[in-house]
């Protein structure tokens, strides 16, 4: 019996709806002066189930448009970033430095530098609240001295370029030879992976190469001061830092680039 009831109910509702529709049409034909009254009445009856459906349709429509526009903007930003990196690479190949914009820097003071880790790291008085990001380049007097490795709301720790665990891509300004800068925990810098047949002269400048969003290319690091004994076809190059690493009081942290 329950199954019959479930099967008859839809038919019964349909028959009632058809009969009501015919009654409304008959009344509108028979009494033309009541045409607007019937239309307004039906409109008022349908308003309550129709209104939420319209609102939901608009929400879905606007949400889908927002998602599509956001996706389109992301594609455009990605395309512009790729074009920017390609242009930076071409400028580096041509020996043209790309200056770091001043408005993308945050000035910070050094608040802690342990004697035991003098050449490894130090702490600054600015953190995420000031726009500091992990991995950001840190400079002094325009020269790279390290990058941010830990960030808190009100302070951050910077790994110095003279740390033995510090590695960063670099290029010789005059010849465009690429290599990797690292330290020795004693204040010395070395440019690794330069082919031994390359003739690098003392005094040549060394700057950052393409590293990512938080370390822009073209930041000066120092200059060539000599070559070491070659090994495995490569000749380590001694580099003198451009900044006064023993007299650091305030630094500039690059805050450009997105997460």
112-148 per-position pLDDT tens digit: 998 889 999 999 999 999 999 999 999 998 899 999 9
Residue whose C-alpha is closest to residue 122's, from 160, 163, 153? 160
User: Can you give the pLDDT at residue 206?
Assistant: 94
More confident position, 165 or 13: 165
**Angle subtended at Cα 161 by Cα 111 and Cα 151, rounded to the nearest 5 degrees:** 45
204-237 per-position pLDDT tens digit: 999 998 766 778 888 999 999 988 887 778 889 9
**Spatial separation of the C-alpha atoms in residues 7 and 24, rounded to whole Å:** 27
Helices 35-93 and 2-30 cross at an angle (nearest 10°) of: 110
User: Can you give the pLDDT at residue 23?
Assistant: 72
Return the CATH number of 98-259, one of 3.40.50.1820, 2.40.10.340, 2.40.110.20, 2.120.10.30: 2.40.10.340
Q: What is the mean pLDDT of residues 237-253?
A: 92
pLDDT at 33 over 70: no
The whole-chain average pLDDT of the chain stands at 78
DSSP letter at 90 equals: H
Query: What percent of the chain lies above the pLDDT cut of 70?
Result: 60
58-98 per-position pLDDT tens digit: 676 666 666 566 666 666 656 665 565 556 556 555 555 55
């Amino acid at each position: 019996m329950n199954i019959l009831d479930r099967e008859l109910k839809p038919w019964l509702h349909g028959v009632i709806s058809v009969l009501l529709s015919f009654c409304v049409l008959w009344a509108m034909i028979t009494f033309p002066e009541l045409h607007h009254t019937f239309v307004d009445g039906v409109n008022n009856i349908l308003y309550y189930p129709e209104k939420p459906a319209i609102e939901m349709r608009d929400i879905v429509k606007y949400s889908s448009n927002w998602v599509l526009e956001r996706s389109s903007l992301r594609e455009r930003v990605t395309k512009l970033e790729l074009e920017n990196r390609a242009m930076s690479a071409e400028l580096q190949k041509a020996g043209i430095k790309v200056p770091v914009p001043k408005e993308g820097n945050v000035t910070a003071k050094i608040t802690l530098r342990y004697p035991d880790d003098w050449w490894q790291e130090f702490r600054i008085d600015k953190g995420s609240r000031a726009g500091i990001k992990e991995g950001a380049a840190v400079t002094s007097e325009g020269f790279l001295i390290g990058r941010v490795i830990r960030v808190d709301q009100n302070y951050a720790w910077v790994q110095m370029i003279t740390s033995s665990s510090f590695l960063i891509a670099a290029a010789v300004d005059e010849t465009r030879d690429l290599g990797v800068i690292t330290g020795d925990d004693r204040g010395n810098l070395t440019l690794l992976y330069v082919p031994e047949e390359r003739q690098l002269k003392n005094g040549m400048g060394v700057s950052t190469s393409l590293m990512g969003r938080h370390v822009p290319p073209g930041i000066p690091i120092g200059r060539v001061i000599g070559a070491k004994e070659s090994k495995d076809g490569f000749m380590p190059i001694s580099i003198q830092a451009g900044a006064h690493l023993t007299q650091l009081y305030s630094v500039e942290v690059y805050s450009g680039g997105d997460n």
